[in-house]
Amino acid sequence: MSNIRINGERLWDSLMEMAKIGATEKGGVCRLALTDLDRQGRDLFVKWAKEAGCTITVDKMGNIFARREGRNPSLPPVMTGSHLDSQPTGGRFDGVYGVLAGLEVLRTLNDLNYETEAPVEVAVWTNEEGSRFAPAMVASGVFAGVFDLDYGLSRADLDGKTMGQELERIGYAGDQPVGKPVGAYFEAHIEQGPILEAEGKTIGIVTHAQGQRWYEVVLTGQEAHAGPTPMPIRRDALLGAAKIVQAVNKIGLDNAPVACATVGLMQVHPNSRNVIPGRVFFTIDLRHPDDEVLSKMDRELRAAIDEVVADGRLEAKVEQIFYYAPVPFEEGCVNAVRAATAAAGFSNRDIVSGAGHDACYLAKVAPTGMIFIPCIDGISHNEIEDAKPEWVAAGAEVLLGAMLERANAGSGAAADAA
């Protein structure tokens, strides 16, 4: 398939057009899941997909599927996709690149009047980021049977608005059941790390994804006046939280080089400058590609919290709200990415994903593979996130080649390529 090329300029222009929706002053985007801006991004994708001749379906979790029919409609589709929602200070490529690279694959097939054996589809997964509604990747998780539909629709943001309510409000509460047969799934994504750029590699062939554990912690002490209350008798919940933040960082360092441990959200009550904090809510994110090590990090975390609670005369409620084990991607899909990369002549290396992706849940119900391209300085979840047009085009060409191999498996269609 090395003689088929996508239109890199068209793909780049589409990315820049989508980036205008929710654009921020620093050059990034803020398109939180199921906001009006997310609706605008969805509407634009649906418009483009219809212009490409696709049929559109939306399931009850708001996942969108743009389908280009194949020679044999009875075969399960070969699917690609990612997400359009972003972090509050997100970039122009995280998630959206995978969606629009998939759209460019369909556009290229149209340009060539190329008929695949199996149908091909591009998916837009709801709330991948988990920024507004926790946990992350909840809609692809419902698709894969990890969560049930009621759980997914009942996830609420900090204002108490649920995903089900917001899907109805923005017009993306679909009528299709969540989940269906998928012949193979591929996801293209920026690396969100520095390895590919540092090594001068254009394509990352993703073999595994790290396991993750997310926690929500409520630490309770006692509010008191900041002036008259002596230091030795204080039950300062924020002080306890600070010690746990330091412990979380130490757990990440102690399990180097591939462990990650982060506190990313904190709410202090009553949040008054002259009141000792009596309650703190915060989140913890632990990651590692080895499930045994990830479990050890869990034990270390709980021991550290117990010690802080005892020393500070505090109370703690610790809830693990999200877990999945490290994910090995399917050998056939990994090899399809490898073959497409070799056919196109791109420099490459095998790589493990440090971030979670919808592909991690799709891997539970379909053969799955991922394609990484570099991002400048490895920066992501940041408004200055950036990538070069040639990297963007290269990843989409590999995606096209891998999808064609699986969509034409067992047929003579590959020999008919233009």
Q: Per this entry, what is the length of the chain?
A: 418
Q: Which two tokens stand for residue 36?
A: 């009006």
Residue 189 marked ligand-binding: yes
Residue 163 · residue 153 · CB < 8 Å: yes
Contacts of 407 (CB under 8 A, 6+ apart): 70, 78, 116, 117, 118, 119, 120, 183, 413
- Report in angstroms the alpha-carbon separations of 235 from 95, 220, 228, 229, 271: 43, 8, 14, 10, 15
385 is in an annotated binding site: no
CA 283 – CA 4 distance, rounded (Å): 46
Annotated ligand binding at 269? The verdict is no
Annotated binding-site residue? 381: yes
Question: With contact defined as beta carbons under 8 Å apart, do 117 and 404 qualify?
Answer: no
Q: Print the SS3 string covering the chain.
A: CCCCCCCHHHHHHHHHHHCCCCECCCCCECCCCCCHHHHHHHHHHHHHHHHCCCEEEEECCCCEEEEECCCCCCCCCEEEEECCCCCCCECCCCCHHHHHHHHHHHHHHHHCCCCCCCCEEEEECCCCCCCCCCCCCHHHHHHCCCCCHHHHHHCECCCCCEHHHHHHHHCCCCCECCCCCCCEEEEEEECCCCHHHHHCCCEEEEEEECEEEEEEEEEECCCEECCCCCHHHCCCHHHHHHHHHHHHHHHHHHCCCCCEEECCCEEEECCCCCEECCEEEEEEEEEECCHHHHHHHHHHHHHHHHHHHHHHCCEEEEEEEEEECCEECCHHHHHHHHHHHHHHCCCEEEEEECCCCHHHHHCCCCCEEEEEECCHHHCCCCCCCCCCHHHHHHHHHHHHHHHHHHHCCCCCHHHHCC
- Is residue 191 within 8 A of residue 198, CB to CB? The reply is no
Binding residues, as ranges, are 83, 94, 129, 189, 381
Binding residues for Zn(2+), as ranges, are 83, 94, 129, 189, 381
